[in-house]
Amino acid sequence: MSEEITVAPLHAVVVPFPAQGHVNPLNNFAELLAMRGVFITFVTTEWIHQRLLLAAGDHKPKDRGSNFRFLSIPDGLPPEHGRTAQLDEYLFALQSLGPALTSLLTAADKSVPPITCIVADSFLSCTAELAKNLGVPRVVFWTSCTTLAIMQANTDLLISEGHIPVEEEDLKSKDKLITCLPGKIPPIRPTDIMSFYREKHLSDNLYNIFLHESRINKMADYVLVNTFEELEGGKEAQMGLSFNGCPALAIGPVSLPNFLEGRNSMYSMWEADKTCLQWLDTQPQASVLYVSFGSIAVKSEKQLHELALGLEACGYPFLWVLRSDIAEGKPMELPEGFKDRTKDRALIVSWTEQLKVLSHPSLGGFLTHNGWNSTLEAISMGVLMIGWPYFHDQFLDCRLAKDIWKIGLDFEGVDADEFKLVTKEVVESKIISLMGSSIGKKLRENAMRLKEAAKKAVMEGGTSYTNLNTFVKDMKNMNLYEDN
């Protein structure tokens, strides 16, 4: 009797870290897989799912046809818990979700194809237990740049070489370079290392939590990174994440192909303002500064006042996203008379559809916290940046944008001292340099080259497009079985 090789339908369980900056890239990635015929189960926590439903209104996340379903699971915390505002407690709770995830997926609808892989956020170590329980490959998805991923995955190496914990005196040194990491990445500085690993955090829960996460990540069967080869060192860079010879591929920016083809795959935990695009339509080309610090970063009331006065003094139109918790958990009180003095050239909103804003022709620059999503979205749209990082990987992203890719500016010293007060005069000066000087003109040329490279990477035949197809093919090869 002849043997026939059959390929079972692929079924990927996609599990993002439950925060907006992680849900969106994993959701965009899931959409791209579904378009390639993969059945998707997208798992979020109940708290995140309800926030998305509330903010989405009539555009609610729901099953998208026969090969895409949503499931949710309790995170074990009370509704009033701050989640990302109390990050250590949040991460502790998430680390224990392995058994509950296994129960959820084994009890779910049996009419769907058998699960063939787990695609898990790099900060969800509980999915290692899930993949083991289900007997399927675990694919680690990095929502950061490759350089950060390599640093985080090699935390033990950095400890053994004496670079972690990062000492206060090293934070102030611009000359100390770290070159011991694998992969084709630039030499890094102490300020580039994830902020939770600084000496002053040595006794904090987060130091040990992220160390644990880094060790679990080395057990991946496959690695994907939300970047593109032309931005970060070609294929050699990603190979720095290839522990035990597992494949490691750059497949980003995952939001870009969906955006270019008009598919809305971005979710928000806040209701986006619908007037800002019309307001942008009234502004001159490349004239507007967009100001947004993402979904988590906060600043002091004093710092926000200096920012406001710098925006007023710069003379450029600006669109400013002011979350209700931006002032260390509270709404900001604007300087007296600020709205009246800037009303002819300013719009202040609580949230935006960021990709649509960044793609608008009136955008001239982006004052950003340099989270990786925001950084990569700005690169995808050719928008210059002024970096003002808050924590985590943002200091690294900011330096890469300024020193390596040369598409942005920063504020001196905030990488070593996140509480340093940036005065209104410095804010004004940086905005003018970015928006209206020969410096900005040169940066813009670099940004436009990277924009075209990002677009080429995700289009048919591009590096990220091809790598994503390779991933699907590899998953199929792992799913071969013999039918006698």
The confidence score (pLDDT) of residue 61 equals 53
Q: Is pLDDT at 347 greater than 50 in this prediction?
A: yes
**What pLDDT does residue 55 have?**
58
Judgement on whether residues 197 and 298 belong to the same structural domain of the protein = no
Model confidence at 372, pLDDT cuts 50, 70, 90, reads very high
Structure token pair of residue 44: 């979020």
In this structure, what CATH number is given to the domain that contains residue 195?
3.40.50.2000
Q: Is 433 among the domain residues? A: yes
CB of 284 closer than 8 Å to CB of 362: yes
80 and 172 together in one domain: yes
Mean pLDDT of 195-220: 88
Residues 443 and 468 reside in one and the same domain: no
Judge if 67 and 53 occupy the same domain.
Answer: yes
Q: Is the same domain home to 440 and 465?
A: no
Say if residues 420 and 388 touch (Cβ distance below 8 Å).
Answer: no
User: Do 425 and 364 belong together in one domain?
Assistant: yes
Over range 287-294, report the average pLDDT: 96
Same domain for 414 and 395: yes
Given this model, what pLDDT does residue 65 score? 60
> What's the rounded mean pLDDT across residues 91-120?
90
Q: Is the pLDDT of residue 3 over 70?
A: no
What is the predicted pLDDT for the residue at 483?
A: 37
Mean pLDDT of the chain, nearest integer: 90
Q: Could you tell me if 310 and 355 lie in one domain?
A: yes
Q: Which of 153, 144, 131, 178 is nearest to 14 (CA)?
A: 131
Q: Are 394 and 294 in contact (CB under 8 A)?
A: no
Q: What is the pLDDT of residue 329?
A: 84
The tens digit of pLDDT for each residue in 375-393 reads: 999 999 999 999 999 988 9
Q: Which residues pair with 318 in a beta bridge?
A: 289, 346
Best CA proximity match to 381, nearest among 354, 405, 349, 403: 354
Check residue 484 and give its pLDDT.
33
What is the number of domains present in the chain? 2
| CA 388 distance to own-chain centroid | 16
Q: Which of 14-18, 134-138, 268-272, 439-443 has the lowest mean pLDDT?
A: 268-272
Hey, what amino acid is at 73?
Answer: I
Share of the chain above pLDDT 70, in %: 93
Say if residue 58's pLDDT is above 80.
Answer: no
**pLDDT cut 90: percent of the chain above it:** 75
Identify the band that residue 8 occupies on the pLDDT scale cut at 50, 70 and 90: low
As a whole number, mean pLDDT of residues 307-329 equals 95
Write down the pLDDT at residue 57: 53
Do residues 290 and 398 both lie within one domain? yes
Residues 94 and 165 in one domain: yes
Do 426 and 370 belong together in one domain? yes
Residue 270 falls inside a structural domain? no
Q: Please give the pLDDT value at position 343.
A: 94
Q: Is residue 56 very low, low, confident or very high in pLDDT (cuts 50, 70, 90)?
A: low
Using the predicted structure, report yes or no on whether residue 110 has a pLDDT greater than 90: no
**Is 271 part of any domain?**
no
Residue 6 confidence (pLDDT)? 44
**8 A C-beta contact, residue 433 and residue 402:** no
pLDDT for 478 beyond 90: no
How far is CA 115 from its chain centroid? Answer: 26
Interval 30-46 mean pLDDT: 94
> Which range, 4-18, 203-217, 435-449, has the best average confidence (pLDDT)?
435-449
Domain range for 130 is 4-264+459-479
356: pLDDT strictly greater than 90 = yes
Distance CA 212, CA 208 (A): 6
C-alpha–C-alpha distance, residues 389 and 399, integer Å: 10
Q: How far apart are CA 85 and CA 296, in angstroms?
A: 8
